[in-house]
Chains A and B, each alone.
Chain A
Amino acid sequence: MISIQDLHVSYDEAEILHGVSAAFPEGKISVLMGPNGCGKSTTLRSLVRMVPEMSGVLTLDGQDLGTLTPQELACRIAYLPQSRNVPDITVERLVLHGRFPYLSYPRRYRKEDRDKVAQALEWVGLSDLHARKMENLSGGQRQKAYLAMALAQDTEVILMDEPTTFLDIKNQFEMLDRARSLANDGKTVIMILHDFESILHYADHVILMAQGRVLTTGDAETVLRSEEIKEAFDVQPCFYRTDDGLHCYVRP
């Protein structure tokens, strides 16, 4: 279980998060949702200490994250940022850098690391493209390569900042299905999503934010049906049921 208590974050003396508290259950997909600029990415970045000034208590299984070195933190939490470089290296080399936190003297990757990479590439379905340059992959394949890097990092928690951005519909579903598999395997997945229908289908736990605060939390249907959704987005979610379950669309 990863938890945040009374988190305050400031950029250039302007407070962005005003006492955010939330808990992200183990082996589940937790989704942070809210309007642009409400502090979702900042909350996610706080968990990997990527914010300039912060106060509050962040714990993973009871251990204060502030006591971990960057290397120790990277062995426990993987983070996929929203914007990523397209480095001039092969897919395999990129994924191998997922093992960077485990490097020790003499600063060279070992066979065990390369085995983890092979497993991660197979899991995301990129084994055949391992020798291809990143710049020669499609957007969906690059996303998978970065996901493989996060898997090679072998952490309990994976943070994904809008993992479906820039992906076509098929790749969006594929990415979310893989997130579901990771959660089923016991990993704690925390991601930022905007699409209500995807949230309804994939999120086990939702944290709704607005203006640097948590408005409400709960399961996806409860949060999407709440009054706070209207307050946060000024839209009206509509629900309908088909043979494969509940669906949602949004009316302005």
Chain B
Amino acid sequence: MQNLKSSSTKSKGALLLIGAAAFLILSAVLNICLGASGVSLGALWHALLEGPGTSKAARILWYVRLPRTAASLLAGAGLAVSGAVIQKVLANNLASPGIIGINAGAGLAVAACCAFGTYAVWAVAGASFLGAMTATFLVVIVARKSNASRTTVVLGGVAVTACLNAVTETIVTMVPDAALASVDFRVGGFSSVNQTRLLPAAILILAGIAVVCMLTNELDVLSLGDDTAHALGLRVARMRNTMLTLAALLAGASVSFAGVLGFVGLIVPHMARRIIGNDSGRLIPFCALLGGGFVTICDLASRLIFAPYELPAGILMSFLGGPFFIWLLLKRKDKQP
């Protein structure tokens, strides 16, 4: 019996993945080469070959543009994969990391951190990660208590988010300094990223994406529906909670150094599905590549549009994400009664 999988389908998928990888590399190269400082490409190349040094080009390359580019690549990849996983697990194309409490949890932790006068970069990053994970943990507990159905995960997420946001607003009302100090986190961006802050999150994001890539068949079987997935031998509730935890890990680690980057976890999985289809084996790596490239291009645009001033990347993404979301809603209205 001949294998039905056509080689043209396989090669098309491979070509698209190569194209996405090329986009990622191009965005990274542009983000490293272009900026408002006026440093020439030759000087940057020289600084790259010589390693970290004290020249202007070396300082800009090694301490600003490389960490910043790495951060935007990692945050984009982490948030996009997180969004794709959440949308698959909840069978809801309008779901994103925010739906399982990531942003609310991280926002509360950062506001609390600032309210206690702890402004150190590492402390804010750690707090936002722990806040994101704690919020997701609460959502997963609520879901588990009610058999982890898709609906209860979403409703649990809405309830937990509402509670956490209420506490955050109370904190920033009582301690106005906390509101000011957490502005950078709330709008999202990469201007304060450095290697120390990035390294632990980078390890978590890369490991998280690798694990998700190994579980793409589980992710697809889960999306067939609880009964069918169970009949195929999958421990449905356990796998759903595992996937949500992985998604939280990816988004939480991204938020810890990039702040709240609105809509990345929503836009990129949609773009990726339209281009490469819904098969997780291709979708997840494609999302990682496309997400990394997309956020890096947004970061580049945010630095160049009003140069020498910088628009936080999170604001630019919301400018793009808002209209996209409206388009998505209108498109759904066309299709559904």
Please report A residues at the B interface, Cβ cutoff 8 Å: 48, 50, 69-75, 78-81, 83-85, 87-89, 92-94, 97-98, 100-101, 103, 106-109, 111, 114-115, 117-119, 121-122, 127, 130-131, 146, 153
Contacts and interface: CB of A to CB of B under 8 A. Distances in A.
B279 interface: yes
B6 A131 contact: yes
Nearest to A109: B217
Nearest to A130: B4
Contact of B228 (A84, A101, A111, A130): A84
Contacts, number: 95
- B interface majority secondary structure: loop
Contacts of A103: 217
Nearest to A111: B3
A127 B4 contact: yes
Interface stretch (B35-43, B151-159, B231-239, B297-305): B231-239
A248 to B, nearest CB: 31
A50 B221 CA distance: 16
B124 to A, nearest CB: 37
A73 B232 contact: no
A66 to B, nearest CB: 15
B117 interface: no
Contact of B230 (A70, A83, A94, A109): A70
A222 B123 CA distance: 77
A131 to B, nearest CB: 7
A150 to B, nearest CB: 8
Chain B's interface size range is: 20 to 34
Contacts of A109: 217
Contact of B279 (A48, A93, A98, A121): A93
B225 interface: yes
Contacts of A100: 217, 221, 232-234
8 A-B pairs with the lowest CB-CB distances in the bound complex, closest first: A74-B233, A81-B227, A79-B231, A71-B233, A85-B225, A101-B233, A88-B278, A100-B232
A47 B231 CA distance: 10
Nearest to B5: A114
A26 B280 CA distance: 38
Given A115-B3, A118-B3, A50 B235 contact: no
7 contacts: A75-B233, A80-B231, A81-B227, A89-B279, A97-B220, A107-B215, A115-B1
Contacts of B221: 97, 100
B217 A118 contact: no
Contacts of A98: 232
A131 B277 CA distance: 12
B336 to A, nearest CB: 13
A70 to B, nearest CB: 5
Contacts of B278: 87-89
A60 B220 CA distance: 29
B214 interface: yes
Contacts of B54: none
A92 B91 CA distance: 20
B199 interface: no
Given A87-B278, A100-B217, A107-B214, 18 more contacts: A70-B234, A74-B231, A79-B227, A79-B231, A84-B224, A85-B224, A87-B223, A89-B279, A97-B221, A100-B234, A101-B232, A107-B215, A107-B216, A114-B3, A117-B4, A118-B1, A118-B4, A131-B9
B50 to A, nearest CB: 41
B55 interface: no
Which has the most chain A C-beta neighbours within 10 Å: B218, B232, B279? Answer: B232
B2 interface: yes
B231 A78 contact: yes
Given A103-B217, A115-B3, A87 B230 contact: no
Contacts of B234: 70, 100
A44 B318 CA distance: 50
Contacts of A131: 4, 6, 9
B335 to A, nearest CB: 11
A130 B5 CA distance: 9
